[in-house]
Amino acid sequence: MAIDVVVPPLGESVTQAILIKWHKADGAQASMDEPLCELETDKANVDIPAPAAGLIRRVKNEGDTVSVGEVIARIDTVGAAASAPGKGGGTPAVSAPAAMPAASALAASAGKLDDLSPATRRIVAENKVDPSTIAGTGRGGRLTKEDVQNSLQRSGNGEGGAPVGAPPQPTPARHEAPASMTTPSPKTAPAQSGAMNYDARGERRVPMSKIRRRIAETLVKAQQTAAILTTFNEVDLQAVMDLRSKFKETFEKTHGVGLGFMSFFAKATVQALKEYPHVNAFIEGENIVYHHHTHLGIAVSTDRGLAVPVLKNAQDLSFARIESEIKRLASAVRDGKLGLEELSGGTFTITNGGVFGSLLSTPILNPPQSAILGMHTIQKRAMVINDKIEIRPMMYLALSYDHRIVDGKEAIGFLVRIKQLLEDPARLMLEV
């Protein structure tokens, strides 16, 4: 029997995607829920899992534009049965006897295989790892792909965790991009970079990706529909840096995650938004929509474009939980595996141009949000403290806001409140 593999609903307003990569060869054996291919939408990349076990018959090719509901492949379940041991006298596919028993055994022993994402389930099955033996760092303690890779690395990528002969699953270094995003090596760059495709005028045209087109549309819409104004301030980060230095090692030992600057800014932002609710509100027609929660977007630049993963209900998250979520989302960005639900619903955004060395900028709103906070590089500057000149680590902050809903007094007050909380971080703990 042939089972159609169709493009599933991809989120609000998303109707098409580009099939950018097949994970399984045509005619290859696939296990149920094993990732078959990767689709690129204008918001995120999505893995499409197999709806059943069987042999893959591709219908669409890499590079094709596909629509929601369209058939991209078919799974021959009869062919899979015929290739099984003891039937038809044929030689079974190498992966057939291993993939399904491994998955079923894991489901029986761990009882939580069904809770894993397709990418995580694949690496668990390939390495015959018991997911119940690995601590999850995802939302609600969910096991992530990075958790499994780190566990395999600690155990020697096959020693004590994976069977002898299993293919190693190296964990990419933090500074490296995923394979689909890495820059070609110097030896291969001339052939892959398209340098030979320049025309007689020295020009080369490359189609914009769906994500880049979406970014362009969003930014132009923001400029055209909102009355954007930016206000600036500066913050002395000496107290934050002293606090990090004092408790960084203890924090990491206690919570299993490093203590970064972003959690301080996130906590300060959440507290300030409580006091200035207009900054966390939307304009919807002739109404103002206020939010009792803070879904905090963290802008992340990738080789494919800008991604803004969202920390849902950031007002309920501790420092450790914020750091853990940022780490998980950053890993998903690097792997190109952000879920659509993790990219939607933000009520306020933080963007950090300082990681690239930006000293000052005017960030653009992320519609329909009414404001965005811009962080910048930390620079030591001579400051007058109690009538004395001292060298302090300073950062310029920028708040772009929609003047239709946020008045200048509120915007300035909001930014001053963030400055106050960061310069005296004890206030963050006491919420005063």
What residues act catalytically? 403, 407
Distance between CA 62 and CA 109 in Å, rounded? 37
Q: What is the spatial distance between Cα 62 and Cα 241, in angstroms, rounded to a whole number? A: 48
Sign of CA pseudo-dihedral 313, 319, 320, 326: positive
Name, in order, each residue with C-beta under 8 angstroms of 203's C-beta and a sequence gap of 6 or more: none
**Pairing mode, strands 54-58 and 29-30:** antiparallel
Question: Within 10 A of 343 (CB to CB), how many other CB atoms are there?
Answer: 19
Is 100 in a helix, a strand, or coil?
Answer: helix
Instruction: Give me the residue label for tokens 């620079």.
Output: 379
Q: Based on C-alpha coordinates, what's the Rg of the chain?
A: 25
Q: Bridge partners of 46?
A: 39
Q: What is the DSSP pairing of strand 296-298 with strand 287-289?
A: unpaired
Tokens of 296: 């905090």
Core vs surface per residue 149-163: b (16+ CB within 10 A) or e = bebbeeeebbeebbe
What is the sign, positive or negative, of the torsion defined by CA atoms of 52, 55, 56, 59?
A: negative
Distance of CA 389 to the CA centre of its chain: 42
The bridge status of strand 282-284 relative to strand 305-307 is: unpaired
Pick from 366, 324, 348: nearest CA to 142 = 324
User: Kind of pairing, strands 71-76 and 228-236?
Assistant: unpaired
Bridge partners of residue 39, in order along the sequence: 19, 46
What tokens were used for 122? Answer: 């694949």
Burial of 294 (0-12, 13-18, 19+ CB in 10 A): buried
Cα distance between residue 158 and residue 156, in whole Å: 6
Q: What is the DSSP string of 326-347?
A: HHHHHHHHHHT---GGGSS--S
